[in-house]
Chain A
């Protein structure tokens, strides 16, 4: 079945460091890919998405490119801030439950801590 694998955390960086969180997926068909973020005490929020191969999603300085050839959707940011400290979840849309509504399949989440 469809699945998402993302790098194990926690990841600890200094402010202004470069961030990469790896995400690879296994899927049949052509899923959309997402990054969700969960700040402390809050729910998961959509950070960015890409709906087809070679699309780049971007938001708040974060970027991820849908790479079909490597089945990857790595999250990157050039210069992280303390306020980026959160748990980041990679996900894909799964339409294999036989219905039209679709569901999200998530990875385990990667905790990022940014130190001043």
Chain B
């Protein structure tokens, strides 16, 4: 079965540094997402992306965050100036259709971000 690929699997950074988390969604998928899970807490929606623009974003997704699909295959999440509370597992996902139409999301295995 095709997979969503995320790199790196672990990322350690210093507070205030910029990080870019990378994802390669499944090739024929049109909708892309980032979620995160802080240790011991719920998996939280960050942002969804369709047709080269953000469709929806949560309150968590403030000006420090940005997403990009730079080359038609990669889908990146950038955190401009990391904070300690950004430490979490970040999951990328993609889907053919929308959650509204009950399409299933395919998730990557996640990037564990540790901000020191």
In whole angstroms, what is the CA distance A102 to B102 when docked?
9
With A101-B48, A106-B42 known to touch, is A46 a contact of B56 (CB < 8 Å)?
A: no
Chain B residues with CB under 8 Å of A93's CB are 99-100, 102
In whole angstroms, what is the CA distance A106 to B41 when docked?
10
The answer to whether A102 and B42 touch across the interface, beta carbons within 8 angstroms, is no
The answer to whether B107 and A103 touch across the interface, beta carbons within 8 angstroms, is no
| Size of the chain A interface, CB-CB below 8 angstroms | 31
In the complex, B81 has a CB within 8 A of chain A: no
What class of interface size applies to chain B in its complex with A?
20 to 34
> How far apart are B60's CB and chain A's nearest CB, in angstroms?
12
In the complex, B31 has a CB within 8 A of chain A: yes
In whole angstroms, what is the CA distance A80 to B109 when docked?
24
In the complex, A43 has a CB within 8 A of chain B: yes
Flag B80-106 by CB within 8 Å of A: 1 or 0 each: 000000000001010000111010111
The answer to whether B102 and A49 touch across the interface, beta carbons within 8 angstroms, is yes
Given contacts A43-B107, A95-B99, A102-B99, 4 further A-B contacts (CB under 8 A): A44-B43, A98-B56, A101-B31, A101-B56
